[in-house]
A and B are shown apart, each in its own frame.
Chain A
Amino acid sequence: MTETAIELVGVNKWFGDFHVLKDIDLTVGAGQKVVICGPSGSGKSTVVRCINRLEKHQKGTIRVNGTELRGDAQTIAAIRSEVGMVFQQFNLFPHLTVLDNLMLGPVKARGLTRAEAEKTARHYLARVHIPDQADKYPGQLSGGQQQRVAIARSLCMEPRVLLFDEPTSALDPEMISEVLDVMIELALDGMTMVVVTHEMGFARKVADQMVFMDAGEIVERGAPEEVFAAPKSDRCRKFLSQILQH
């Protein structure tokens, strides 16, 4: 029995009158990889963003490594220290070098010395296969390299869980695989991952659980082979046939 890393029970969220998440239940065991897919606007980003409190849910419970996510600053800080996030648009700090991007969190939030932080930063830069770009600015890197820096920046905080929100959607096709390769390596190393993506090859390779969302609901879930081979719902079948055509 693996311990539970993330648990969502009956999570609901509204943007004004708009019911964006409807009774979301999701359990992610430690070391598990969950891939979330679904049409645009179905609420995938919102689910992921609720897990580290970039968005606030209004009903239901979210637990991360056993801690219930409530509104107080202390809990939020505790949960964010265990949960890293990689964004579609990278969101690197353009005014800082790659090395400083990686060191900012460890030095300012975790209180490491600059020497310790630099050692960690160089370690993770090597892990995402760009050890020689440390002194460049993000604007001087390709999209694929920037996203790998963003992954390394998250890793420098030594998180127990990594969230990815469409990490390859903003990339030119030829750069997608270099990012996916890094993510696969992380997955094989045992990182707990929640990944919003339409890269079905990645899902097949690493996902323990596939989740299909539509209109704020989890419509279907299961092992990737099952979902791909025999989607139960029409909506999921239609969606998969559309994205697998490409």
Chain B
Amino acid sequence: MTRYLPFAALLLLGGCSSSSTWGWYVIDPTTASGWINIKFLVSGMGDTILISVIAAAISIALGLMVALPALSHRRWLRIVNRVYVELIRSIPLLPMLFWVFYGLPIIFRSMGLNIPIDPFWGAIITLALSDSAFTAEIYRAGIQSIPKGQHEASQTIGLSYAQTMRYVILPQAIRRILPPLANQFIYIVKMSAFASVIGMQELTRRANELVVTEYRPLEIYSLLIVEYLVLVLIISAGVRWLERRMSADERI
């Protein structure tokens, strides 16, 4: 591997010096047109973040609702959970996106409902749905890591199932749940790029549009990757901070 590194470096340097391979002018902030291009690309950040945050919030709520039946002693409820998780987990994101964006409105219409799905909500629904199978598994693992004795002690002091979850189990399980849940957010941010396909003007869509007019895919997609890298690195730092805080809290 290391053998090839010098060659790669050579290639890159050579590329930079000859303008036929590299043309950083498209995103050169010192020129007026380069600066306009950069602003156009980076302004997709808002929608990428917005889509991701809303999808994550829905997934966090949906995941808990999907996870709870998995913990039931009723077999059919556990089966409902399994079917949901296995089904959702096995659908690739892009087909699911097409199904939600192009298919779901037809179902709504056939039910006499007039609910249009725009690219924004189409992307959010798809991301939340797809992610909820994973958050459900995170909740399940976290809740199941709490010893059976905690449930039993709660029962013997008269707590209902909902009270046991709310006051005893979830506050303890949250320490195991939050870090991987935050980690899932990275997955959502990356997968939000698919929203570009249905016309959402987020980071990837803008890069694509600029490539079409400027014919500079190498530079523009390089910047695109850096944009995602910055986003993900910030989230990772947040996850690590959360992990440290959760494990420092010795009581729980």
CA distance A108 to B161 in the complex (A): 12
Binds A, one of B16-24, B165-173, B178-186: B165-173
Q: Are A94 and B157 within 8 A (Cβ)?
A: no
| Interface of B, helix, strand, loop or mixed by DSSP | helix
Q: Are B157 and A104 within 8 A (Cβ)?
A: yes
B159 at the interface (CB under 8 A from A): yes
Binds B, one of A12-20, A76-84, A199-207: A76-84
Interface size of A as a range: 20 to 34
Q: Are B251 and A91 within 8 A (Cβ)?
A: no
Could you say which of A84, A91, A110, A153 contacts B149, with CB atoms under 8 Å apart?
A: A91
Q: Are A54 and B163 within 8 A (Cβ)?
A: no
CA distance A50 to B152 in the complex (A): 12
B158–chain A nearest beta-carbon distance, Å: 3
Q: Are A94 and B156 within 8 A (Cβ)?
A: no
A34-78 near B? 1/0 per residue, CB < 8 Å: 000000000000000000101000000000000000000000010
Given known pairs A91-B149, A94-B172, A109-B163, the reply for A84 and B156 (CB within 8 Å) is yes
A168 at the interface (CB under 8 A from B): no
CA distance A52 to B149 in the complex (A): 14
B137-170 near A? 1/0 per residue, CB < 8 Å: 0000000000101101101111110010001100
CA distance A105 to B248 in the complex (A): 28
Q: Are B252 and A94 within 8 A (Cβ)?
A: yes
B8–chain A nearest beta-carbon distance, Å: 52
Chain A CB count within 10 A is highest, among B156, B163, B167, B172, for: B156
CA distance A153 to B168 in the complex (A): 14
Given known pairs A89-B149, A91-B150, A91-B152, the reply for A105 and B252 (CB within 8 Å) is no
User: Chain B residues with Cβ under 8 A from A154's Cβ?
Assistant: 156-157
A112–chain B nearest beta-carbon distance, Å: 12
Given known pairs A94-B252, A137-B251, the reply for A52 and B158 (CB within 8 Å) is no
A128 at the interface (CB under 8 A from B): no
CA distance A105 to B159 in the complex (A): 7
User: Chain B residues with Cβ under 8 A from A92's Cβ?
Assistant: 153
User: Chain A residues with Cβ under 8 A from B150's Cβ?
Assistant: 91, 93
A87 at the interface (CB under 8 A from B): yes
A246 at the interface (CB under 8 A from B): no
User: Chain B residues with Cβ under 8 A from A80's Cβ?
Assistant: 155-156, 158
User: Chain A residues with Cβ under 8 A from B153's Cβ?
Assistant: 85, 87, 91-93, 150, 153
A238 at the interface (CB under 8 A from B): no
| Interface of A, helix, strand, loop or mixed by DSSP | loop
Chain B residue, CB-CB nearest to A76:
B155
Given known pairs A89-B149, A108-B167, the reply for A153 and B157 (CB within 8 Å) is yes
Chain B residue, CB-CB nearest to A107:
B167
B111-151 near A? 1/0 per residue, CB < 8 Å: 00000000000000000000000000000000000010110
B186–chain A nearest beta-carbon distance, Å: 28
Chain B residue, CB-CB nearest to A73:
B160
Docked complex: A166-220 residues within 8 A CB-CB of B: none
Chain B residue, CB-CB nearest to A83:
B156
Chain A residue, CB-CB nearest to B157:
A105
B247–chain A nearest beta-carbon distance, Å: 14
Q: Are A139 and B251 within 8 A (Cβ)?
A: yes
CA distance A81 to B153 in the complex (A): 13
Could you say which of A81, A104, A157 contacts B167, with CB atoms under 8 Å apart?
A: A104
CA distance A52 to B117 in the complex (A): 52
User: Chain B residues with Cβ under 8 A from A54's Cβ?
Assistant: 152, 155-156
Q: Are B156 and A109 within 8 A (Cβ)?
A: no
User: Chain B residues with Cβ under 8 A from A153's Cβ?
Assistant: 153, 157
Chain B residue, CB-CB nearest to A88:
B149
B185-209 near A? 1/0 per residue, CB < 8 Å: 0000000000000000000000000
User: Chain B residues with Cβ under 8 A from A109's Cβ?
Assistant: 157-160, 163
Q: Are B156 and A52 within 8 A (Cβ)?
A: yes
B75–chain A nearest beta-carbon distance, Å: 15
Q: Are B149 and A157 within 8 A (Cβ)?
A: no
Chain A residue, CB-CB nearest to B166:
A108
Docked complex: A115-159 residues within 8 A CB-CB of B: 137, 139, 150, 153-154, 156-157
Closest 10 CB pairs of A and B: A105-B157, A109-B158, A91-B153, A91-B149, A85-B156, A95-B252, A137-B251, A95-B171, A108-B163, A95-B172
Using CB atoms and an 8 Å cutoff, list the residues of chain B in contact with chain A.
Answer: 147, 149-150, 152-153, 155-160, 163, 167-168, 171-172, 250-252
What are 9 pairs between A and B in contact, CB < 8 Å? A84-B156, A92-B153, A94-B251, A104-B157, A105-B158, A108-B163, A108-B167, A109-B159, A150-B153
